């Protein structure tokens, strides 16, 4: 197994597999969060189930955290190795002419997304861990709020102009990252032969629609608060 990760192909395959896992999670995360726009009660019920189900909390959540850390660490490793391998050849071959802006700047869009994940953890994950595992409150309720607390906590975060702008910018970087990463992941798995155009179209649709969906959620709750 160690030899697999030491090879260039092995690292790219591992990177692709972690990307597929995170893209699936991103779609699932969006499917839950879009419920907050249409039904506060349904969003609360689904969020409470996800937040209290033992399998999700004690199996899937650690796997997700490992997947996030692994993907970014592997991404930085691949970037450093690629830069070392290219050296002066990159300049001679005019990389700007032979590759897209997104592919040349995956490291920076990745850094922006990583910064967003830290903000997202501060906004939602850390308070949730504190409530459930430190305070021992798994009820999903909050004093002064009728019913479950999840919708109130979500919408409250988007009262701030600055935080809303930060989320929107982060989702734009996510879009740019996905536009290259989706197709690249399939190429690393060697499944693009004869399907390149179809996969590119699916990748573009996913990479644009999912981040735009998150932007819509953030702006919807922000404008609803501002105009209320």
Q: Give the model confidence (pLDDT) of 34-88 as tens digits.
A: 999 999 999 999 999 999 999 999 999 999 999 999 998 888 888 877 777 666 4
pLDDT tens digits for range 97-136: 446 667 777 788 888 999 999 999 999 999 999 999 999 9
| Of 88 and 165, more confident | 165
**Of 152, 142, 138, 154, nearest to 52 (Cα)?**
138
**Of 172, 175, 169, nearest to 204 (Cα)?**
175
Res 90: pLDDT? 45
Q: Where are the domains of the chain?
A: 2-227
* Sequence-ordered list of residues with C-beta below 8 angstroms from that of 175, at least 6 positions apart, any chain: 207, 208, 211, 212
Task: State the pTM of this model.
Answer: 0.87
Res 21: pLDDT? 92
């Amino acid at each position: 197994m160690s030899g697999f990760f030491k090879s260039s192909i092995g690292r790219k395959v591992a990177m692709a597999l972690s990307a597929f896992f995170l893209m699936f999670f991103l779609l699932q995360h969006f499917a839950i969060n879009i419920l907050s726009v249409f039904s506060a009660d349904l969003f609360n019920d689904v969020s409470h189930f996800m937040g209290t189900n033992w399998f999700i909390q004690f199996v899937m959540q650690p796997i997700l955290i490992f997947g996030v850390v692994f993907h970014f660490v592997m991404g930085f490793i691949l970037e450093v190795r690629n830069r070392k391998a290219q050296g002066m050849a990159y300049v001679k071959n005019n990389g700007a002419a032979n590759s897209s802006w997104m592919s040349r700047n995956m490291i920076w869009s990745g850094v922006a997304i990583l910064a967003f994940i830290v903000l997202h953890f501060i906004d939602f994950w850390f308070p949730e861990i504190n409530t459930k595992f430190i305070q021992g409150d798994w009820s999903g309720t909050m004093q002064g709020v009728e019913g479950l607390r999840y919708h109130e906590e979500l919408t409250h975060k988007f009262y701030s102009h600055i935080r809303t702008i930060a989320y929107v910018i982060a989702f734009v970087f996510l879009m740019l990252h996905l536009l290259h990463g989706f197709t690249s992941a399939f190429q690393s798995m060697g499944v693009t032969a004869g399907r390149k155009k179809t996969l590119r179209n699916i990748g573009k649709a996913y990479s644009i629609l999912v981040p735009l969906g998150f932007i819509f959620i953030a702006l919807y709750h922000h404008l609803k608060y501002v105009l209320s």
